[in-house]
Amino acid sequence: MIRNQMPAAQVPYQLDSGEGLRFSFGSHLATRIAVPEALGQPAAGTVLSGAKGAKFPVHRHARTHEAVYVLEGAVALTLAGQAFLLAPGDYVNIPPGTPHGYEFRDHRGKLLSWTFLGNAAEAYSRLGAPYAGHIYPESTASVDWSLLDASTDTELLDSTSFVDGPWSPKLTTAPQGPVPFVLAAGEGERMIAGDQLYTLLGNQTHSNGVFISLLTEGPAGMPIPRHQHEKVTELFHCLSGQMEMFAGSEFITLHPGDFLHVPPRAPHSFQLTKPDTRFLGFVTPGLFEPFFRYLCSPFDGYRYPLVPPPFRFDRVIQHLAELDLTLLERPGGPPPAAPHA
C-alpha cells in the first residue's frame, strides 16, 4: 500500500488526514488528494480551506462537473444566482455551466471538492505555489484570478455576481437530473442494508452517470465480502469512527479525515470498527448505483435502527451478472446462489 504519497499510476493509495499536494494562494490552501495521473481518468479530489473572508470568485466550468461536501466551518455559497450558508455535512451538486463561488465565513472553513470530466482542479496549481504547511497561511497576499481561463476550464464571472444572502433554504430531497442543488446535512435518499444506513447524496441522474456519492454509516460490525470491480473506482473518506479496509493486498485502518483510493481491479472490503462510524464514498462511473438498490431497502428514518433488518445480499447475488462486481469470498450473510463465491 502506498501511504501519504500519490502514485502516478492507477494503484491503491492512502492519505492521512491533511496529507496531499498542497498549494497556497492568498489565504487559501488547496490540498490535492487525488490527481488525474493517480486516478487514471480526468477526475480530481481537493480539500479547500481558507481564512475567514477568503473568497473564490464566481466562475463556471464548461466541461467539469463538481461536487462539494462541507467538512468544517461556515461557508457562504453562490450557486446559480442563489445564496446559501453552508454548514458541515451539506452537499452541493455543480453541473458544468453552473455559476458558483464561495467565501469562508469563519476560521474553520473546509470543503471537499471532487471534479470529474474537465480539468478545473488544475486551477489550484495555476493560482498557487507549492506550500510546505498543512493549514492555510494567514496571508494578506492578493490572488491573481486572471490566471484562470479555458485552459483550466474556468471562466471567471463578473464580481457583482456573488450573492451575499438572503440565504436560500437547503433541500431535504434532491431533484432528479443534472441540475445544481444544495442538500442539507443529514438529508438525501436513505436506504438500509442490514445494520448499515446508506444515504445517496448524488445519484446517476445528477451527473449523467459520471459518478455517485453516498454516505455509509453503522455500528461496529462484520466486514463486507472482499470483491473487485472491472471499471469502477471507489474513493473513501472516513468521516467519523474507524474502519478497517482491505485494499490491493493488505489491511489498512482509516480514521476521520483519512482518504483511500481503490482503482478498478483492486480487491477490497471494509469493516466498521468503532460505534457510529461514517464514511463518504464517491464511486465513478455511476453505473454501480443499482448495486445499492439491490442490496438496500428504502428507509424513512435518518439513523440505522438498533435491531437491523436482514442483510439481503441474496438480492445482489441474483443480479450479479448485470453488476460490475466480482466477489472474492463468500458473503457472511445468506449462502450465495451463484457460483462466484
In the chain, the N- to C-terminal Cα span, in Å, equals 25
Candidates 2, 10, 18, 326: give the one binding a second copy (CB under 8 A): 18
> Shortest distance, CB of residue 285 to a second copy, whole angstroms?
30
Task: Looking at residues 199 to 238 of the shown chain, list those that interact with a second copy (rule: CB under 8 A).
Answer: 219
> Shortest distance, CB of residue 253 to a second copy, whole angstroms?
9
Q: Whole-angstrom Cα distance, residue 214 to residue 129?
A: 33
Q: Which residue, chain included where needed, has cell 471507489?
A: 234
Candidates 81, 144, 222, 302: give the one binding a second copy (CB under 8 A): 302
Tell me how many residues contact a second copy (CB under 8 A): 42
Candidates 116, 304, 311, 313: give the one binding a second copy (CB under 8 A): 304
Q: Whole-angstrom Cα distance, residue 192 to residue 173?
A: 17
> Shortest distance, CB of residue 182 to a second copy, whole angstroms?
14
Q: Which stretch binds a second copy (CB under 8 A): 147-155, 204-212, 240-248, 327-335?
A: 240-248
Nearer to a second copy, 74 or 157 (CB): 74
Q: Whole-angstrom Cα distance, residue 338 to residue 341?
A: 7
Candidates 3, 7, 138, 330: give the one binding a second copy (CB under 8 A): 138
Q: Is 171 in the site for a second copy (CB under 8 A)?
A: no
Candidates 38, 39, 51, 214: give the one binding a second copy (CB under 8 A): 51
Nearer to a second copy, 89 or 333 (CB): 89
Nearer to a second copy, 51 or 79 (CB): 51
Nearer to a second copy, 301 or 339 (CB): 301
Candidates 11, 83, 171, 184: give the one binding a second copy (CB under 8 A): 184
Q: Is 19 in the site for a second copy (CB under 8 A)?
A: yes
The C-alpha cell that represents 237 in the structure block: 473518506
> Shortest distance, CB of residue 17 to a second copy, whole angstroms?
5
The C-alpha cell that represents 209 in the structure block: 452517470
Q: Whole-angstrom Cα distance, residue 89 to residue 82?
A: 19
Q: Is 17 in the site for a second copy (CB under 8 A)?
A: yes
Laid out side by side, the sheet with 21-25 consists of 129-130, 21-25, 28-34, 43-50, 110-116, 65-72, 91-94, 181-183
Q: Is 128 in the site for a second copy (CB under 8 A)?
A: no
Binding mask of the shown chain, residues 67 to 106, with x at each position contacting a second copy by CB under 8 A: -----xxx------------xxx----------------x
Q: Which residue, chain included where needed, has cell 443499482?
A: 290
Q: Interface residues with a second copy (CB under 8 A)? A: 16-19, 51-52, 72-74, 87-89, 106-108, 132-138, 184-187, 219, 240-242, 255-257, 274-276, 301-306
